[in-house]
Structure 1
Amino acid sequence: MGDVRVALAGALSSRRAEMPDLIRVDQYYRGIQDRPYIPKRAEAEFGQMVTKSLENWLPLIVSTVAQNLRVEGYRRSDKPEDLEPWRYWADNLMDSRQAQVHRAALTFGKAYVSVMPGTSPITGEPAPVIRPMSPLSVTGFSEDPDADWLDLVVRSLGKVVQGEDTFLRWEVWDDEAVSEVWQPEGTDDPAEWRVVASEPHGMDRCPVVVFRNRWADSPTTMTHELGEVSPLMPIQDRINSTTFDMLVAQSYSAFRQRWATGIQIPKDPRTGRPVETFQAAVDRVWATPSDKVRFGEFEQTDLSGYLSSRDAAIKAMAAIAQVPPHSFASGVANISADALTALETGLSRKVHERQTIFGEAWGQVFRLAAYAVGDASNAQDTEARVIWHDAEARSLSQTVDALGKAHQMLGVPQQALWERIPGVTTFDVEAWRALKVQEDEAAERRGLSLIMGADHTGRDTEQDAGPVASDYVTAA
């Protein structure tokens, strides 16, 4: 690649275009949302109600999908017993870190994972270093929007102060090296930027993989790929507004207010303020000797309209996000197992789509990891596949029964079905295979022992019985 400063300048223009949307999504996800409208002269009590009315449903949308995404293995079609790529995964604690990648991609529309050559802290041998990177600090760039690999990645490292000068620190990843560039604050001329470090990474491409929540339909219609949060933000505002209106009605007119006419309210002689004539209580009755006094009460405000409007907005959010309504605990109860499965059909299809998209990206990570340690066989295997946790709403007995029928009725080998049992990892399957080999060898030894014992017993019986007819025939 040419001058890294020129490449950085081009990538920063893309970053400036997408960062406002990403920051707004991050704020909404964390509950920093547009507040419902109140008049400027409203009392402080209304401000407290606004704060209470912010019901953040957006993290639930992301969690419902993310909790159904868990990588449990990586399998080569020609060498299923090869666990070396999966050891790269385990050495980098990716069982826990994968959730960070999935949630970021679902929330912001994209996430990043870097793969660099390194050394295992346990064995001291060469090992890949796999790390997730947040889209809030990292921006990927490629000339071809449909390219499989990124051309350039820029990561913000914050600021540094030297004397009276302040610099913005940028880390630039390209197909040759990882460089650090200092940009004087307020200066957009790349000629004034400083490349303070550049270290070749030894990879044959930019060692960063992008995880997309979905591919953009057209580069001209979307500045970046959509996540799950952005389309739901207007509905979140609607829920907050309805909840605020309901709190106001609940606080000021949801209880019965009583009135009285024809009475003279006394005043406190010391303060001059009106004195409350009647004390309302369960065990008290309002009474007066005057026949001109009239009592009455105002009707309370019915909150059912607010509740219905709020529930309708929540159901609209669930429908758009393809999340079953019972995840929101909103108006769904006492449903059968078949109905529950039908409600989760949309979510299952969405999860399967994300598994396909994310699975390809994880495949790139595994191949980069193999390349980082010189494992050419796994680095070039594009047919290997990621094994996902089965998140379907089925009991273990139902799953095992279905797998048993697949073996008996369809002839699928038993060992090929082990990895389809929910919760079973690649290492579990390999341990079972080792135990199966041991059991088969032990059974074979027992069988040989029985055969040899039976043969020996037969020969002893023939000798005790004396010569047989065949002996005479042979002698003759």
Structure 2
Amino acid sequence: MPTLMQYVKRLLDKIDDQAAYAAPFEKRYSNEYVLPFLQKEYAEVYPGLIIASADGRTVDTLINGTLSQLEVPKSGTAGIVVDALGERMMLGGISATDNDAATKKLQAAWEDNDLDVMHHEAHREALIAARSFGSIARETGSGGRAVVGIEHASQAAVIRRQSAPYDVIAYLKTWTDEWTGDGAGLLRLVGKDYTLAESDEMRQDPNGSDVVSRWYVVDEDGTDTGLDFVPVVEFAPHSRLLKEPISEIAPITTQVDTVDLVEGLMVFAGHFGVVPIRWASGIEVPRDPKDPSKPLLGPDGKPAIGFNPRADHTWVSTNKDTKFGQLEPAGLASFVTWAEHASAKVRAKTALASTYFSLDLKSHMSAELLKTDEAPMTRRVRRMGQFGSLNQSWRRLGQYILAIEDPSVKTRIKPIWEDPETRIESQSVDQFQKLTAAGLGIAETAEKVLGWDPETIQRAVAEAEAMRQKIRQEKREDTLSPMERATREFLNVA
């Protein structure tokens, strides 16, 4: 049986490995990564960093070998891919399939812990860093409700059982105290939670192992959780049984960098090839008054010829032999083709819909064509979420919530996944009308087809029933004779 510090050492190593793995993908997702090649080229072509005053005027330029006056283009393609998949992995809560009381508890925990917001964070961080975590604890005090926190892979790690059911048997979360700057942590084992702290000096494991660490257990007795499991789940989009989960950005890193490269080179092409180059001959160059053999130099150190090549400036010369001309500009068509090819490779790897990369508003894509375009992406989202490892993690989180709040309840847990397809309202309404006309229940059809919540369905059904009763009443009154109608009105008034 490992000692507490052996668990801590193993988990700290995993946190370090996870943080190192996620770092380059985090920079690409945040659009902070710059290709070294482009950074060097831009520093040579557009050297220096402009230093401006408070009112925006250029007051100086810092010249060195790495800074550029023009920021290197970054396409943000990695962020587009992650956000596109993440926005389709939406949950509406967690339910118990055969227990209404348990469903109410789960929905209350879902809302109380802001999981309607935080489940997006869990999915996004898992797509970027290959994993994220959900930690559940019992609220201190008399409430006893389940408190859920979503944790990042650079701060948390788990050890799993190596045989079915592959439960988490150890969990570590580390952080830095914002007031003292000291390291702190929480080690969770089956039935126990242990508070950790980080000292300034290395310490030997008091339980006799060979582990030496600055981290130490504050209270060796720990805190009893009253649980026979570690209430932690790992959100990781597994695609292989024996392979570690990978970042969604990992398979497309080369393609993402290629898109950035094309964007960067396109600026050069546009500046030096597409922008018309104007020329002049036979012009008089002002001479330096101190040395007429030399041209007069401008502030930039170049001869002051008196002409600005910008398109909004006119060139005029009093010399009749002066000639002006313009070189034929090149085009960017080849770069556009290259960029589209790189984006197509990203689409092929990620199965994203074309609308995330280019949207031609003149094409007026029909609803059926839109669904066809999205079909590979929606299948992949379902395979990762509703029918994948993420669904397993949310189901287990729901089980842990009930085990903490009401241990006597034994029921099956079902995460409620939203439809990842783009909603076409007219099609949904048409489908609803046809299904209810065929005899299906209004409430069940409204929930499945229209996606309404139970409260809205209940109000709509009650309003529809009241309307039907009013129509039936009016029809019955239309069949009354004038004498019967007058008698009824008289009795109602009386």
Both proteins in one fold, TM over 0.5: yes
User: What percentage of residue pairs aligned between the two structures are identical?
Assistant: 17
Long gaps (5+) in structure 2: 50-65, 207-211, 297-302, 474-494
Which is worse superposed, 151-160 or 128-137? 151-160
1:225–1:387: structure 2 CA closer, same or farther, 3 Å change rule? same
Distance 1:189 1:22, change over 3 A: farther
Offset of residue 32 of structure 1: 2.1
- Whether 1:352 and 2:382 are equivalent positions in the alignment is yes
Number of the residue aligned with 1:110: 131
Please tell me whether residue 44 in structure 1 is matched to residue 48 in structure 2.
Answer: yes
For residue 279 of structure 2, give the secondary structure of its aligned residue in structure 1.
Answer: strand
Deviations 1:145-177 (A, max 9, x none): 875421111111226999xxx964332111121
Counterpart residue number, 2:29: 29
Equivalent position of 2:370 in the other structure: 340
Whether the aligned pair in 2 keeps the contact of 1:73 and 1:425 (CA below 8 Å) is no
Match of 2:236 in 1: 212
What's the secondary structure of 1:355's corresponding residue? coil
Deviations 1:277-334 (A, max 9, x none): 66776766656334xx654433323222222222222232233221111122256751
List gaps (5 residues or longer) in structure 1: 447-476
One-letter identity of the residue aligned with 1:425: D
Cα distance between partner residues in 2 of 1:72 and 1:287: 77
Larger Rg: 1
- Displacement of 1:183 in angstroms is 4.2
Equivalent AA in structure 1 for residue 425 of structure 2: L
Match of 2:195 in 1: 180
Matched with 2:53 is none
Say if 1:49 and 1:248, in contact at 8 Å, map to a contact too: no
How many residues align? The count is: 428
Give the distance between the partners of 1:13 and 1:401, measured in 2 at CA: 56
Other-structure match for 1:70: 90
Matched, 1:18 2:18: yes
SS in 2 for 1:299: coil
Worse overlay, 41-50 or 255-264: 41-50
Question: Are the equivalent residues in 1 in contact too, given 2:93–2:110 (CA < 8 A)?
Answer: no
Written as runs of structure 1 = structure 2, the 5 A alignment for 1:418-457 is 418-428=446-456, 435=462
User: Corresponding residue for 1:393?
Assistant: 422
Q: Report matched runs for 1:53-452 at 5 Å.
A: 53-80=73-100, 82-118=103-139, 125-144=143-162, 147-158=165-176, 168-184=183-199, 187=202, 189-191=204-206, 193-197=215-219, 198-219=222-243, 224-262=244-282, 265-269=285-289, 272-273=295-296, 274-276=303-305, 288-290=319-321, 295-329=324-358, 333-334=362-363, 335-353=365-383, 354-357=385-388, 358-377=390-409, 380-382=410-412, 384-409=413-438, 412-428=440-456, 435=462
Residue 462 of structure 1 aligns with which residue? none
Distance 1:40 1:347 in 2: 37
Q: Deviations over 1:427-458 (max 9, x none)?
A: 5456778x59997xx99xx9xxxxxxxxxxxx
Separation in 1, partners of 2:98, 2:67 = 64
Change (3 A) 1:265 1:103: same
User: CA RMSD of the aligned region, Å?
Assistant: 3.6
Q: What is aligned with 1:450?
A: none
- Aligned mates of 1:188, 1:28 — CA distance in 2: 38
Contact 2:195/2:218, CA 8 A, preserved across alignment: yes
TM, length-normalised to structure 1: 0.78
DSSP-derived class of the 2:377 partner: helix
Q: Cα gap change, 1:284/1:332 in structure 2, threshold over 3 Å: closer, same or farther? A: same
Relative distance call for 1:186 and 1:117 in structure 2 (3 A) is same
- Counterpart code for 2:424: S
**Contact 2:187/2:196 (<8 A) preserved:** yes
Residues 188, 258 of structure 1: alpha-carbon distance in 2 compared, 3 angstrom cutoff: farther
Question: CA offset at residue 225 of structure 1?
Answer: 1.0
CA contact (8 A) 1:406 1:412 kept: yes
The range that moved more, 179-188 or 60-69, is 179-188
Q: Distance in 2 between matches of 1:284 and 1:47?
A: 34
